[in-house]
Structure 1
Amino acid sequence: MAHSRGNLFILSAPSGAGKSSLINALLKKHADMKVSVSHTTRAPRPGENNAEHYHFVSVDEFKALIAKDDFFEWAQVFDNYYGTSKQAIESQLAAGIDVFLDIDWQGARQVREIVDDVKTIFILPPSKQELEQRLNNRGQDSAEIIAGRMAQAQSETSHYDEYDFVVVNDDFDTALSEIESVVIAQRLTLKAQTTRHQTLINELLK
Structure 2
Amino acid sequence: MVVIISAPSGSGKTTIVNEVLKSIKGITRSVSWTTRDPRKGEKPGKDYIFVSKKEFEEKVKNGNFLEYEENFGNYYGTPKMQFKEAESNGIDIILSIDVKGARKVKAVLPESVSIFILPPSEQVLEERLKKRNTDEEKDVLIRLRESKIEMKSANEYDYLIINDNLEEAVEKVSLIIETERKRRVH
Identify which of 139, 142, 147 aligns with 1:148. Answer: 142
1:110 paired residue number: 104
**Partner SS for 1:87:** helix
- Residue pairs, 1:18-37, within 5 angstroms: 18-37=12-31
**Partner SS for 2:45:** coil
Is 1:193–2:176 an aligned residue pair? no
Indicate if the aligned counterparts of 1:72 and 1:85 stay in contact, CA closer than 8 A. yes
Indicate if the aligned counterparts of 1:34 and 1:99 stay in contact, CA closer than 8 A. yes
- Identify if the C-alpha distance between structure 1 residues 175 and 61 changes in structure 2 by more than 3 Å, giving closer, same or farther: same
Q: In terms of mean alpha carbon deviation, does 81-90 or 57-66 score higher?
A: 57-66
2:178 paired residue number: 184
User: Residue 81 of structure 1: CA displacement?
Assistant: 2.7
1:163 paired residue number: 157
State how far apart, in whole Å, the 1-side matches of 2:73 and 2:132 are: 25
User: Residue 134 of structure 1: CA displacement?
Assistant: 2.1
**Partner SS for 1:51:** coil
How many corresponding residue pairs? 186
For structure 1, the 5+ residue unaligned runs are 1-6, 195-206
Rg larger for? 1
**Partner SS for 2:10:** coil
For structure 2, the 5+ residue unaligned runs are none
Root-mean-square deviation (CA, aligned residues, Å) is: 2.4
- Identify if the C-alpha distance between structure 1 residues 73 and 126 changes in structure 2 by more than 3 Å, giving closer, same or farther: same
Indicate if the aligned counterparts of 1:8 and 1:93 stay in contact, CA closer than 8 A. no
- Residue pairs, 1:1-206, within 5 angstroms: 7-42=1-36, 48-77=42-71, 80-139=74-133, 143-189=137-183, 192-194=184-186
| TM-score, normalization by structure 2 | 0.85
Q: What is the identity percentage for the equivalent residue pairs of Structure 1 and Structure 2?
A: 37
Indicate if the aligned counterparts of 2:36 and 2:50 stay in contact, CA closer than 8 A. yes
| TM-score, normalization by structure 1 | 0.78
State how far apart, in whole Å, the 2-side matches of 1:58 and 1:147 are: 26
**Partner SS for 1:188:** helix
Indicate if the aligned counterparts of 1:11 and 1:120 stay in contact, CA closer than 8 A. yes
